[in-house]
Amino acid sequence: MLSGDLVATWEVALSDGVYRIEFSHGTTTGKRIVSVNGQEVIRKDWMFKLVGKETFSVGGANTKATINIEAVSGFAYEYSLDLDGKSLQRFIDDRAKTTKTWLLKVDGDDHRIVLEKDTMDIWCNGQKMDTTGEFVDDGTETHFMLGEHECCIKATSSGQKKSGIVHYLLLDGQRVPASTQ
């Protein structure tokens, strides 16, 4: 990819990983290149129309992504990314409500654990984990293994209507702080 034509880069956190989306736009040739984590997913070498959209999918769940190319003034362009039909910021805000993420180091390796609250699916570094769930006095526990380590995501009522259910991760019985990502 010609770095001189690179006009936009976005980082998108999905359950199965963080994806880097890069967009190159040759404003003299109309060339458009979209790559996800360094892999080209779209290449158009000659486009007479310099504005428009490029649509592709991202991640294991094939999340629909659209890059919007708009002329701002003269030869200036603006680029935006939509995911599942929503602006990137709205998509991130909605995901913050439906998922919870923990970043932790276990036995020297980095792990990104994502809980999908609606399905209770748990992902670790892009792999969907085998889990066992059980009801306990104060809520539910979802157990899974991380190597030789026992993990448990506990869901309990916060006792407050506004915040609803609170999820936290235990690694070998110790609470792990949640990530802001």
- Domains 3-84 and 98-176 in one fold: yes
Predicted local distance difference test score (pLDDT) of residue 17: 94
Predicted local distance difference test score (pLDDT) of residue 169: 96
**Structure-block tokens of residue 76:** 């200036």
Predicted local distance difference test score (pLDDT) of residue 108: 93
Quick: pLDDT tens for 148-178. 999 999 999 888 877 788 999 999 999 998 8
- Whole-angstrom distance, CA of residue 59 vs CA of residue 126: 9
Taking 60 as the threshold, does the pLDDT of residue 65 lie above it? yes
Contact 65, 21 (CB under 8 A): yes
Predicted local distance difference test score (pLDDT) of residue 27: 80
Q: Does domain 3-84 have CATH number 2.40.128.180?
A: yes
User: Thinking of the domain 98-176, which architecture would CATH place it in?
Assistant: Beta Barrel (2.40)
- Whole-angstrom distance, CA of residue 47 vs CA of residue 109: 45
Kindly report the average pLDDT of the chain as a whole number.
Answer: 91
Quick: pLDDT tens for 114-134. 999 999 999 999 999 999 999
What percent of the chain is modeled with pLDDT above 90? 76
Read out DSSP for 82-98?
A: EETTEEHHHHHHHHHHH
Taking 60 as the threshold, does the pLDDT of residue 40 lie above it? yes
Q: Which of 3-7, 31-35, 81-85 has the lowest mean pLDDT?
A: 3-7
47 vs 97, higher pLDDT: 97
- Going by C-alpha positions, the residue among 21, 16, 29 that lies closest to residue 54 is 21
Where does residue 56 rank: exposed (0-12), middle (13-18), buried (19+ CB within 10 A)? middle
Taking 60 as the threshold, does the pLDDT of residue 1 lie above it? no
Backbone angles phi, psi at 151, to 5 degrees: -120, 150
Taking 90 as the threshold, does the pLDDT of residue 179 lie above it? no
Taking 60 as the threshold, does the pLDDT of residue 2 lie above it? no
List the domain boundaries for the chain.
3-84, 98-176
- Going by C-alpha positions, the residue among 108, 109, 128 that lies closest to residue 119 is 128
How far does Cα 129 stand from its chain's mean position?
17
State the pLDDT confidence band at 4, using cuts at 50, 70 and 90. low
Predicted local distance difference test score (pLDDT) of residue 3: 52
Backbone angles phi, psi at 90, to 5 degrees: -65, -40
Phi-psi region of 10 (alpha: psi -120 to 50; beta: other; left: phi over 0): beta
- Whole-angstrom distance, CA of residue 145 vs CA of residue 98: 23
